[in-house]
Chains A and B, each alone.
Chain A
Amino acid sequence: MPDLSINFAGIKSPNPFWLASAPPTNSGYQVMKAFDAGWGGAVWKTLGVPVVNVSSRYGGVNYRDKRLVGFNNIELISDRPLSHNLREIEEVKKRFPNHAVIASLMVQSRQEWHDIVRASEDAGADGLELNFGCPHGMCERGMGSAVGQEPKVLQMIVEWVMEVARKPVIVKLTPNISDITEPALAARRGGADAISLINTIQSIVGVDLDRFAPYPIVDGKGTNGGYCGPAVKPIALNMVKNCAQHPDVRLPISGIGGIENWRDAVEHILLGASSVQVCTAVMHFGFGIIREMTSGLEQYMVEKGFNTINDMVGKALPNVLHWEDLNMKYKVTANINEDKCIGCQLCYTACEDGAHQAIKLNAGTRVPEIIEENCVGCNLCSLVCPVEQCITMEQTDSGTQHLTWKERTEAGDIPTKFEDEQAGGRHHWVPEPSAALGKERYKTLPGKARIISGETVAPAEA
């Protein structure tokens, strides 16, 4: 059996799944319940000078029939007295000595940082996570993302913390910044042991159409919140990759953002995370999802022959290149499996209206046909096709040629003028604009189908 345990910057945990600092880690009760269910670690809801919260606090993004594909909150750090939190941390550690309990911290002055770091460590925390990410409420008070957006300030506070910290220190980064590696580098310069990302993204998840106010609504008004949930995974993955690939960051990464099942976790790990943190999925489905996550991860490791989590970390990184290093000679074209096609013609409209007009319809069949010479291999048709393996992208180049934009640039072989002969689209087929008028959109009109199609309305045979 593969070994799921990790040693993250010196913090040991029976598996890489931690609860992120958030409502699910608000109390000892919750953290113990989570450990009991199988979670490997928990980053305690941020400690600091207790706050007062508003209601409501959460907003959701539903997509068609799916609830909470995106989620946001305007909740602040822990509103419970510090002494209560510390006492509960102590109790949890007594009962779960081998699980990871990490104290998330957010205070202002150097003295406050020193005090809270010492207090957390005394309570038994295995590590500290500095919350430089919170994008709402706390940043207006000069904390949270206000710090995460200022590398110099971030570095200074990390230095304050490192003056007294004896346990590993993780810096949690905000994604509300143009280049995530800048605060990551500042964290490294400050002496941090690890980074975690991403915190939530500044957002408005929706507007109430009747009350003309953003969600969540507090007495008819609202504010921007922090966005998270499945919808933010692509952004998180890219930022994790950016930090993992940067030659000077070289810090363990705890991946956060859109992790709901083992696949999401593995994706974070393959791009460089060596622990992962989960919040929204637990707020949606409860602690019980951990069973599927560990079992899925274990099964994946068995299938791929990974013995430890470390074997997997960053495995995909060598294949994430800059655009200029991609092979321009590689060609794929779409192929429709006629037997699998159900005739929905979504590929046709997608290509016709949304891409390159390389699919046509033929009379007598609902199976569309790829016009190979027009197909640029963009992938759109295979993405919209609702049938598994019906539209596949097949390699059509010889596989022997390799040429990148960078190589072309070096050879002086790139378009440089507005009317350049070497422009990629110059020799691509496109229909005449006037051919757009009177297209199939009018083929079937509501209530007029039979008139337009010219069919006669014959009496039914009795």
Chain B
Amino acid sequence: MAEFSTPTTEQQFAENFAQLKPVMNRTEALYESSRCLFCFDAPCIKACPSGIDIPQFIRQINSGNDTGAARTIYEANYFGNACGKVCPTEVLCEGACVYNLQEVKPIEIGRLQSFATTKVIKSGEKLFGPGADNGKKVAVIGAGPAGISAACELRSLGYGVDVFEAKAQPSGLTVYGVAPYKITNEETLAEMTYLQAQFGYNVHFNSAISSREELEKLEDKYDAIFLGIGLGKTNELGLPGEDKINCTGAVEFIAELRQHHHEVAVGRKVIVLGGGNTAMDAASESSRLGAENVILAYRRAKVEMGAYEFEYDLAKGVGVKGLFNVAPVEITGNGYVSGVKFIRTETKDGRVQEIAGSEFIEPCDMVIKATGQAKQTEFLSLIPGLKLDGKGRIMADAHTGQTSNPKYFASGDAWNGGAEVVNAAAEAKLTARGIHAYLSK
């Protein structure tokens, strides 16, 4: 039985995809902020990749200084509002809250963070501005969390910044790749508008940089180039039948969902391949789109899944079933997907081994592959001297973000191989300072 009826209107979509971390009202924020102990050298700060002074902003909320709280957050992380909503707070700040050790509910840091930032975004009150023009210019490729964070920080240091974005909207995965029940498009884009209004960087949309000529132009015109390009399309599995209609990549499926909401169709019986957080999102989203059966198929055991436990619980909570120790061998069907042929597996000495003769077909009418994203190695090969590691990740200095081509700097998924929004935001800030150090020499 499907738990959700297929949404046919924007309102039904909003109901099915109700926000997991809705923005608090003042009373809620007051009560929750009252509980913060104001720990010394607080573990929550250390658990935050962007190092937000969490006890400080919580205390500011408690004393009615919401604007000050927003300032504290944005000083450390330009994606303050988005991170409050999309961060895996359960394993980051909230996971580190000392209340956990007393078996008391940890402080809802993420929601408090969004409370303060939402308020300031709505008010439009500017907290920051660009630094005095230093005459130098930086090109930023990619308007995702890394690119926009770098743009903000560079502007505050006085650089002229042009951001080149292949898509039509800014914020990258935050608007194209995060599950809709974590953040809405409106919230994401409002934060982007708010940042741009303060820092005044230029964003060129629908402006993919994809050729050597385009790169050369940037190299001529700009003093440094920031690569915030993220990852590419969903990995091909190389299975027979992968080209069938209704066999799609999770990244593409989610991007479609984020842009077209209830207009996106989903099968009645959906099989999601993978065991990571994106697989959990895709499965959960299929269910919320009204699929009658959603199966999450993973080639190892449940405990070996890469996804956070709470993400799996979330999917289970909306009726997703798990199918473990199975590897897909073929997508069956005649033109359209009709099922997935699996073979059972077992893990021996850490390696997945197939059990001969155990094949079976699980019928379905849609397959979503959440089996990782490809690296943009072809594009990166256009940059002279740029070194990649064995996994296709850009190699760059951990502190400055500088790559083996001194004019190029990198942060975010293209460098870290795929992490959270907060990682990209934090890294980009450091890298912007790295660029500043390099150009100030």
Q: Interface of A with B (CB < 8 Å)?
A: 64-65, 342-346, 348-349, 366, 386-387, 440, 443-451, 456-462
Contacts and interface: CB of A to CB of B under 8 A. Distances in A.
Nearest to A387: B102
B418 interface: yes
A446 B60 CA distance: 14
- Rank and list the top 4 A-B pairs by shortest CB-CB distance, nearest first: A449-B51, A447-B76, A446-B53, A345-B40
B34 to A, nearest CB: 4
B39 A447 contact: no
Given A445-B51, A446-B51, A459-B393, A342 B99 contact: yes
A457 B76 CA distance: 16
Nearest to B47: A449
B218 interface: no
B427 A366 contact: no
Contact of B429 (A344, A348, A447): A447
Interface string B24-58: 00000011001001111111011011111100100
B65 to A, nearest CB: 12
Contacts of B418: 460, 462
A343 B98 contact: yes
Contacts of A447: 50-53, 75-77, 429
B427 A444 contact: no
B377 to A, nearest CB: 14
A279 to B, nearest CB: 26
A18 B170 CA distance: 67
Given A344-B98, A449-B45, A349 B415 contact: no
A462 B417 contact: yes
Interface size class of B (residues with CB under 8 A): 35 or more
Interface string B400-435: 000000000000000111110001001101100000
Given A65-B34, A443-B41, A457 B99 contact: no
B132 interface: no
Contacts, number: 93
B393 A444 contact: no
A345 B39 contact: yes
A64 to B, nearest CB: 4
Nearest to B64: A209
A366 B393 CA distance: 36
A460 B416 contact: yes
A450 B417 CA distance: 20
Given A444-B45, A456-B398, A344 B53 contact: no
A446 B56 contact: yes
Contacts of B391: 462
Contacts of B46: 444, 449
Interface of B: 30-31, 34, 37-43, 45-46, 48-53, 56, 62, 72, 75-77, 98-99, 101-102, 372, 391, 393, 398-399, 415-419, 423, 426-427, 429-430
Contacts of A64: 30, 34, 62
A366 B76 CA distance: 24
B61 to A, nearest CB: 11
B40, B53, B75, B418 — which one has the most chain A CB atoms within 10 A of its CB? B40
B417 A460 contact: yes
Nearest to B40: A345
A459 B426 CA distance: 12
A446 B41 contact: no
Contact of B43 (A343, A451, A461): A343
A244 B76 CA distance: 58
A301 to B, nearest CB: 33
A277 B398 CA distance: 68
A349 B418 CA distance: 39
Contacts of A446: 45, 51-53, 56, 72, 75-76
Nearest to A348: B40
A345, A387, A451, A459 — which one has the most chain B CB atoms within 10 A of its CB? A459
Contact of B430 (A343, A349, A444, A451): A451
B427 A345 contact: no
A461 B389 CA distance: 12
Contacts of B423: 460
A342 B101 contact: yes
A65 B40 contact: no
Nearest to B395: A459
25 contacts: A64-B34, A342-B101, A343-B98, A345-B40, A346-B37, A349-B40, A366-B98, A440-B40, A444-B46, A445-B53, A446-B56, A446-B76, A447-B52, A447-B53, A447-B76, A447-B77, A447-B429, A449-B45, A450-B49, A450-B430, A457-B398, A457-B427, A457-B430, A459-B417, A462-B417
Contacts of A386: 37, 102
B41 A451 contact: no
Contacts of A448: 51
Given A64-B34, A444-B45, A446-B76, A451 B399 contact: yes
B76 A342 contact: no
Contacts of A461: 417
Contacts of B30: 64-65
Contacts of B50: 447
A342 B96 CA distance: 11
B39 A450 contact: no
Contacts of A387: 102
A451 B49 CA distance: 11
B41 A457 contact: no
Given A446-B75, A447-B76, A457-B398, A343 B101 contact: yes
A182 to B, nearest CB: 41
Contact of A346 (B38, B398, B426, B427): B38
Given A446-B76, A447-B53, A460-B423, 10 more contacts: A343-B43, A343-B101, A344-B98, A349-B40, A386-B37, A444-B51, A446-B56, A450-B51, A451-B430, A462-B393
A387 B103 CA distance: 11
Contact of B37 (A344, A445, A449, A459): A344
A145 B52 CA distance: 53
Nearest to B394: A459
Contacts of B429: 447
Nearest to B62: A64
Contacts of A457: 398-399, 426-427, 430
A342 B104 CA distance: 11
A210 to B, nearest CB: 12
Nearest to A347: B40
A62 to B, nearest CB: 9
Contacts of A343: 39, 43, 98, 101
A443 B43 CA distance: 12
A283 B404 CA distance: 72
A366 B102 CA distance: 14
Nearest to B27: A65
Nearest to B45: A444
A342 B100 CA distance: 8
Contacts of B75: 446-447
Contacts of B56: 446
Contact of A459 (B39, B76, B102, B415): B415
A458 B398 contact: yes
A307 to B, nearest CB: 40
B46, B51, B53, B430 — which one has the most chain A CB atoms within 10 A of its CB? B51
A445 B42 CA distance: 11
B363 to A, nearest CB: 32
Nearest to A63: B34
Nearest to B31: A65
Nearest to B102: A342
A68 B164 CA distance: 55
Contacts of A451: 399, 430
B421 to A, nearest CB: 13
Nearest to B419: A460
A438 B72 CA distance: 22
Contacts of A65: 30-31, 34
A456 B430 CA distance: 11
Contacts of B98: 342-344, 366
Contacts of B38: 346
Nearest to B433: A451
Nearest to A66: B34
